[in-house]
Amino acid sequence: MIKGVVFDLDHTLFDRYATLSAIAPSFCEHFDVAVTAEEFAKKLCFADKQFVHTGWRHIHEYLINEGVFNTVPSYEDYAAFILSKFREIAVPYAFTKPMLKTLRNKGLLLGIITNGDVPLQSKKIELLSFESEFDEILITGSIGIHKPEAEPFRVMAERLRLSPSELLYVGDNPLNDVEGSRNAGYTPVFVNTLGHWSFPDIKKCEYMIENVSELPSLLEKHFTLQ
């Protein structure tokens, strides 16, 4: 019986590509680029979709190879700027809060486990007005242990006063979210945000959705709720 649903944050509960597109104009003003803001946004979103799970340096390298810069910024300057903008802009999916309300009306407890440092992830959560939507929010920087390790999942289950077997974990990363939660005793649900399974050595997830708006119907079809 499922009594709670825990979510990843990035690429799962808010529109990362719309957020990156919103960042593109200020990026093009800050750096010496050879393309329009619209073209840069397309290339940045494409690179993010291909390489976000294997490291930001690959995104930076892709942009360089695509010739988007007149003057190439260092990786450190590039990453620092993007991270600074993530503290200012977070574009929500229109369907996220209605989906959460539907789950809440079913009597489910709700949580977030997100990797990252506390100030940055806290700011994203604030920009998205998520604080009141969840029973528990765990930013792994606060405990110094990150997904896919089992500890964040154990801590969340303890805070929700549920066993891992009573929880779904919903996220887009095959390693951090699917494998991590599976090993911790949760039932994983994969959000196919990237359009591909980026870790071929990891067993694919039994349950897959294209975005979180599909989660209530998946729950009704496959799970017994409290």
Task: Tell me the pLDDT band of 195, cut-offs 50, 70 and 90.
Answer: confident
Fold of 4-15+91-222: Rossmann fold (3.40.50)
- 3-state SS assignment for residue 145: coil
Give exposure, 150-169, as e/b (b: 16+ Cβ within 10 Å).
bebbebbbeebebebebbbb
Q: Where are the domains of the chain?
A: 4-15+91-222, 16-86
pLDDT tens by residue, 55-82: 899 999 999 999 999 999 999 999 999 9
Task: Tell me the pLDDT band of 210, cut-offs 50, 70 and 90.
Answer: very high
Rounded to two decimals, the pTM is 0.93
